[in-house]
Structure 1
Amino acid sequence: MFSEIELSNKKIVVTGGAGFIGSSLIEVLLMKKNKVVCLDNFSTGKRENLMPFLGNKDFTLVEGDIRNLEDCKRAVQDADSVLHEAALGSVPRSIHDPITTNDVNVGGFLNMLVASRDAGVKRFVYAASSSTYGDSKALPKVEEVIGKPLSAYAITKYVNELYADNFFKTYGFETIGLRYFNVFGPKQDPNGAYAAVIPKFVSQFINYESPVINGDGEYSRDFTYIDNVIQMNLLALTTEDQDAVNQVYNTAFGERATLNDLVLSLKENLGDYDSKIKEVVIKHGPYRAGDVPHSMASIEKAKKRLGYKPKFSLQQGLKEAVSWYWNNLKD
């Protein structure tokens, strides 16, 4: 799928490479004959996500923490570019523990910028977030129009963008931020207090448990399949257009679905594997603090400047993801 994007014989660092998005990026980068260094402390990433790469001579694991500058320096030595995926995600987690979220997402981000700049890294592509749009009610979300952040997590992600912009303007250091919109796909962890909604709901359906939707289910999201995200990262790494650098881009499909629509689609897809799932009752709970009511991206900027062409709609992505989860979660 990614053969049209030429990227090979480079040394690329992926922070948070043991995570769902990071390990998916590593797989494609190695497939395209690059040398890949993964920096991860396994606080949220999983060692099993790296197992397919451990025998590959072009893969190196640096077990370390982005909060430690020396670990960052060790990882980026002689690197051409960095894909910075490491972060403590989750709005609820950041509300519960804003200090750790800030230490990792802001302090760790700054460490990686400094280490990468000092090592002569050519380009630094980082995971930004749609949470940056905050209380802005405008739809679709356009990169240049944001509101006030609604959580500590959103604040940290906005600060990342400010630091990246400052490093470009102060040091000429090339950065590109990708504002991810509700990424989902194979390998995304369904367990834990802060599990993403799609794998969590899939796991519950498979076990005949009722998924609980926060609120009335009419909040909407631009759910984005992982392959679209990989495409954006590759395009950001390889663009030679200097006007495309020092920018942030929405990374999404450009459509939205309500949580009610999502859950019904999951139920229908999983019901094709097990008809009993069609009888599972969907429940509703209280609204969750810090949640943005509606989110849908404009992807025109990414199309125009990076040549972005997302291949997977929500429905296409759900079919792929549900198939993977059924084969990997079902006892």
Structure 2
Amino acid sequence: MLDHNDKRVLVTGGAGFIGSHTVDLLLASGYSVRVLDNFSSGRQANLPEHKHLDVMQGDIRSREDVSAAMRGITHCLHLAAQVSVSRSVEDPYDSATHNILGALNVMQSAAQAKVTKLVYASSAAVYGVPTQLPLTEESCQQPLSPYGLEKWVDERYAALLASLHNLPSLGLRYFNVYGPRQDPHSSYAGVVARFIDRLLAHQAPIVYGDGHQSRDFIYVGDVARANLTALFSEQCGICNVATGQRINLLELIDLLNHFTGCSLPAQHLPAKAEDIQHSYGDPQRLAEWLSLSPQWTLSEGLSELIQDYRHTIARESASPLKVSA
């Protein structure tokens, strides 16, 4: 058995939203961590200065970058991706180079390096329009977007490489993740970040469709716990990372209005073709395989996130302006 000092974890996309929270938790738990990130959406500021953290700038689409990052690694968490559903619809080729070819680079390199465990980010987008709720890992998978299809393909590759090269892997199907460090102005941002950003700017949150569509929102701290636990578990296959609860977007806006002290109704725009009406996951396998259940309620997570936003706004407002000479 390897102890903490012998375990070295590679986190691709480690400077991003979910990645940086997981890096923090890994370091706090005593592990050595290497981050591979091209910083297209991740930020150096998301990562701490730490003697057990090694940061490499590189791209998962480059075999050389991935191979270099994988040297000496015992466990790999693959999070780097193009995660915007709308961008995958607009440019499916570019999205596939990240989410299929890039993922395959990481998986193949992990197999060659004989890592002890590969954990990779999948998505609830693989399910498409649910034929049943809640969604279990065995539910029908009919993706509606290139992004969802790409994540489904990743799962097939992982299963194949497990068979061909004995690569132990666990794919985590994240539902709607929210929390600090999610840039509301990025094309990757989820609805929670965008709603809060507009409310704090005293602007009506924008909803595509009637707002009655419901989602399963899970706090990023709980996702980081799932990532860490999955890396050092013996479980392989597929597992939902979800709360098992849902809220519709109009109810979410009411809750955010309450926490922000606003009273702004939604501004409605036409629905997007790739959107589904209702989704929430069954977390039973998460509990059985990883002995985990979400620790953060939606109210607790939203309260923490809004507090973080306000601290960020206050800090940026207090920073002296740089004036060119």
Write out per-residue CA displacement over residues 218-274 of structure 1, whole angstroms, 9 at most, x where no aligned residue: 10000010111112112211223xxx21x1111011100001111111111111xxx
The amino acid across from 2:258 in the alignment is: E
**2:228 aligned with 1:234:** yes
Where does residue 170 of structure 1 map in the other structure? 164
Write out per-residue CA displacement over residues 48-89 of structure 1, whole angstroms, 9 at most, x where no aligned residue: 212x23xx2211111000000110011111101011110000
Where does residue 92 of structure 2 map in the other structure? 98
The amino acid across from 1:260 in the alignment is: L
Contact 1:128 1:161 in 2 (8 A): yes
Work out the CA distance in 2 between the residues paired with 1:151 and 1:80: 33
**2:25 aligned with 1:8:** no
Where does residue 33 of structure 1 map in the other structure? 30
Deviation at 1:104, TM superposition (A): 0.2
**2:273 aligned with 1:289:** yes
Work out the CA distance in 1 between the residues paired with 2:29 and 2:202: 40
Where does residue 320 of structure 2 map in the other structure? none
Work out the CA distance in 2 between the residues paired with 1:137 and 1:259: 21
**The residue matched to 1:254 in structure 2 has which SS?**
coil
Structure 2 unaligned spans of 5+: 318-325
Q: 2:40 aligns with which of 27, 34, 43?
A: 43
**2:258 aligned with 1:268:** yes
Where does residue 3 of structure 1 map in the other structure? none
Where does residue 295 of structure 2 map in the other structure? 311
**The residue matched to 1:324 in structure 2 has which SS?**
helix
Deviation at 1:194, TM superposition (A): 4.0
After TM superposition, list the pairs within 5 Å mapping 1:219-258 onto structure 2. Answer: 219-240=213-234, 244-245=235-236, 247-258=237-248
Call closer, same or farther: CA 1:8–1:321 in 2, change over 3 Å. farther
Work out the CA distance in 2 between the residues paired with 1:328 and 1:101: 31
Work out the CA distance in 2 between the residues paired with 1:95 and 1:290: 8
Work out the CA distance in 2 between the residues paired with 1:172 and 1:69: 21
Where does residue 86 of structure 1 map in the other structure? 80
Aligned residues: 313
Work out the CA distance in 2 between the residues paired with 1:231 and 1:23: 12
Deviation at 1:7, TM superposition (A): 7.7
The amino acid across from 1:309 in the alignment is: S
Deviation at 1:326, TM superposition (A): 1.6
Where does residue 322 of structure 2 map in the other structure? none
Deviation at 1:16, TM superposition (A): 0.4
Work out the CA distance in 2 between the residues paired with 1:20 and 1:305: 25
Identity %: 38
The amino acid across from 2:69 in the alignment is: A
The amino acid across from 1:258 in the alignment is: N
Work out the CA distance in 2 between the residues paired with 1:147 and 1:13: 29
The amino acid across from 1:317 in the alignment is: G
Work out the CA distance in 1 between the residues paired with 2:102 and 2:248: 34
Q: 1:131 aligns with which of 125, 133, 138?
A: 125
The amino acid across from 2:300 in the alignment is: Q
**2:284 aligned with 1:300:** yes
Contact 1:14 1:37 in 2 (8 A): yes
Deviation at 1:13, TM superposition (A): 0.4
Deviation at 1:135, TM superposition (A): 2.2
Structure 1 range deviating more: 287-296 or 217-226 = 287-296
After TM superposition, list the pairs within 5 Å mapping 1:117-128 onto structure 2. Answer: 117-128=111-122
Work out the CA distance in 2 between the residues paired with 1:85 and 1:23: 10
The amino acid across from 1:250 in the alignment is: N
- Name the Cα RMSD after superposition: 1.4
Write out per-residue CA displacement over residues 13-47 of structure 1, whole angstroms, 9 at most, x where no aligned residue: 00001101000011111111211100000111122
Contact 2:67 2:109 in 1 (8 A): yes
Where does residue 60 of structure 1 map in the other structure? 54
TM-score in terms of structure 1 length: 0.92
Work out the CA distance in 2 between the residues paired with 1:196 and 1:131: 13
Where does residue 108 of structure 2 map in the other structure? 114
Contact 1:131 1:292 in 2 (8 A): no
Work out the CA distance in 1 between the residues paired with 2:244 and 2:3: 26
Where does residue 274 of structure 1 map in the other structure? none
Contact 1:250 1:298 in 2 (8 A): yes
Structure 1 runs (4+) deviating above 6 angstroms are none
**2:182 aligned with 1:188:** yes
Work out the CA distance in 2 between the residues paired with 1:8 and 1:289: 47
**The residue matched to 2:143 in structure 1 has which SS?**
coil
The amino acid across from 1:44 in the alignment is: S
Deviation at 1:141, TM superposition (A): 0.2
Contact 2:131 2:140 in 1 (8 A): no
